[in-house]
């Protein structure tokens, strides 16, 4: 992508054959407000409809199967009822001339047996217990030692991604994002701090990246690759993540993913200022030159810093999290340099309408 002083957050851009009306993406945001059966509710419909002025909405991470769940009240994308619930969301977004991708999520070891079918232990590449605690329906609990996925069971995991991708088609999404970031299952396979396998899915970088490549191939059998994105978080220490050589690991991963012709690569920059936690420091901006397509980044950008990143050619799209939580009409506010609502961290996770669908629009203020 060439540098251009004329590009701003408000400039349109094409992802494949789909045109985004601006370069502001609503980042995937876990909000823990799904209904019975982990089905989206009318409150969720309102939340997404309110934010349809984004160039693209990426849905909150939605588990691909019952045994992929990691947190209470996060929606799924694998049952008939969940498909129906999400269809109400996508219909509402489309009525507002918006675009929305579904984020496909498997939490892996970041879970607890109390939330999983038949009290099973969480799944992981290796039986390595994460440090810390996890939030469950019964409050905070220490993480458990997960069960290592048998080699023979990996095709079942890949099939779950394929099934969820099919469900996203039925639910009316415009595309899907594969969640391979933030210490969840695919990220756990990629990093040598969580993957100590001895089979073809462990050891070398090529082997550790194999599951991501196979999942991406399966999803691209269902979706045109230009309607598929993938999210990586090279320096993110979240969920007790570590890699001994992130420069080599993620450079290889990004270059390998080029072969699919995906709609975009979504890189989170968080963790870049904390070397030694997720792994040795490296210049995350180096990944930009390794990617052949549309490049999206995310890390507490504001209007000024985001425009600078676009104009300097550091990214093609910027995703915003907390600012979209608090400002459903964020593009309009940025366009006229209007004051922004301040996000309320106390209401980020779980609860009712407060801090979810009651942030005022400019016209209300």
Taken in order 262, 268, 272, 276, is the CA torsion positive or negative?
Answer: negative
Q: Residue 298 in 3-state DSSP?
A: strand
What tens digit of pLDDT does each residue of 104-154 get?
999 999 999 999 999 999 999 999 999 999 999 999 999 999 999 999 999
* 36 CB-near residues (< 8 Å, 6+ apart): none
The band of 4, judged by pLDDT with boundaries at 50, 70 and 90, is low
What are the residues facing 264 on neighbouring strands?
Answer: 229
Alpha carbon distance 147, 129 (integer Å) = 9
- The mean pLDDT of the chain is 95
Predicted TM-score (pTM) of the model is 0.96
Q: Tell me: pLDDT of 275 over 80.
A: no
142-194, pLDDT tens digit by residue?
Answer: 999 999 999 999 999 999 999 999 999 999 999 999 999 999 999 999 999 99
CA dihedral (169, 173, 174, 175) in degrees, to 10, reads: -70
Q: Give the three-state DSSP class for 14.
A: strand
Catalytic residue (choose from 48, 184, 295, 359): 184
Instruction: Kindly list the structural domains of the chain, giving each domain's residue range(s) and its CATH number in brackets, ordered by start.
Output: 13-347 (3.20.20.70)
At 282 the pLDDT is 81
CA distance 190 to 241: 10
What is the DSSP secondary-structure string of 131-172? SSEEEETTEEEEPPPPEEPPGGGHHHHHHHHHHHHHHHHHTT
Residue-wise pLDDT for 190-247, tens only, equals: 999 999 999 999 999 999 999 999 999 999 999 999 999 999 999 887 889 889 999 9
- How far apart are the two ends of the chain, measured CA to CA in Å? 39
Q: Which two tokens stand for residue 138?
A: 């019964």
In the residue annotation, 184 being an active-site residue is answered as yes
Q: How far apart are CA 4 and CA 114, in angstroms?
A: 52
Among 43-47, 258-262, 359-363, the least confident range: 359-363
Q: Which residues contact 216 (CB under 8 A, 6 or more apart)?
A: 178, 228, 230, 257, 260, 262
Which pLDDT score, from 0 to 100, does residue 1 have? Answer: 42
Q: Please tell me which residue, 167 or 280, carries the higher pLDDT value.
A: 167
Instruction: Provide the pLDDT for residue 237.
Output: 79
**pLDDT for the residue 276:** 65
Residue with tokens 């099973």: 120
Q: Kindly tell me if the per-residue pLDDT of 47 is higher than 80.
A: yes
Neighbours of 352 (CB within 10 A): 11
d(CA 229, CA 213): 13
How much of the chain exceeds pLDDT 70, in percent?
Answer: 96
**CA 41 to CA 39: how far, in whole Å?**
6
d(CA 308, CA 17): 26
């Amino acid at each position: 992508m060439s540098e251009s002083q004329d590009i701003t957050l408000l400039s349109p851009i094409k992802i494949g054959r789909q045109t985004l009306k601006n370069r502001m993406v609503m980042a995937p945001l876990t909000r823990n407000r799904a209904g019975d059966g982990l089905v989206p509710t009318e409150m969720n419909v309102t939340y997404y409809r309110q934010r349809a002025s984004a160039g693209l909405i990426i849905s909150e991470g939605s588990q691909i199967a019952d045994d992929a769940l990691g947190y209470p009240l996060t929606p799924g994308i694998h049952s008939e009822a969940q498909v129906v619930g999400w269809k109400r969301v996508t219909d509402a977004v489309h009525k507002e001339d918006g675009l929305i991708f579904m984020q496909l999520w498997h939490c892996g070891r970041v879970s607890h047996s109390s939330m999983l079918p038949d009290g099973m232990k969480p799944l992981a590449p290796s039986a390595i217990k994460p440090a810390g605690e996890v939030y469950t329906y019964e409050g905070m609990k220490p993480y458990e030692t997960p069960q290592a996925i048998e080699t023979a069971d990996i095709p079942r995991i890949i099939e779950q991604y394929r099934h969820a991708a099919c469900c996203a088609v039925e639910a009316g999404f415009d595309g899907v994002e594969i969640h391979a970031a933030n210490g969840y299952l695919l990220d756990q396979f990629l990093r040598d701090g969580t993957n100590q396998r001895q089979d073809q899915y462990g050891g070398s970088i090529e082997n550790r990246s194999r599951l991501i490549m196979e999942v991406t191939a399966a999803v691209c059998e269902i979706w045109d690759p230009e309607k598929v994105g993938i999210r990586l978080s090279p320096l993110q220490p979240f969920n007790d993540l570590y890699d001994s050589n992130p420069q080599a690991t993620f450079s290889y991963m990004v270059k390998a993913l080029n072969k699919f012709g995906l709609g975009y690569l979504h890189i989170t920059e968080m963790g870049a200022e904390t070397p030694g936690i997720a792994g040795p420091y490296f210049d995350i901006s180096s990944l930009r030159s390794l990617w052949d397509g549309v490049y999206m980044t995310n890390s507490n950008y504001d209007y000024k810093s985001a425009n600078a990143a676009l104009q300097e050619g550091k990214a093609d799209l910027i995703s915003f999290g907390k600012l979209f939580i608090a400002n459903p009409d964020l593009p309009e506010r940025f366009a006229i340099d209007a004051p922004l609502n301040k996000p309320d961290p106390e209401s980020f996770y779980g609860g009712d309408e407060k801090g979810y669908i009651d942030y005022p629009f400019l016209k209300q203020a």
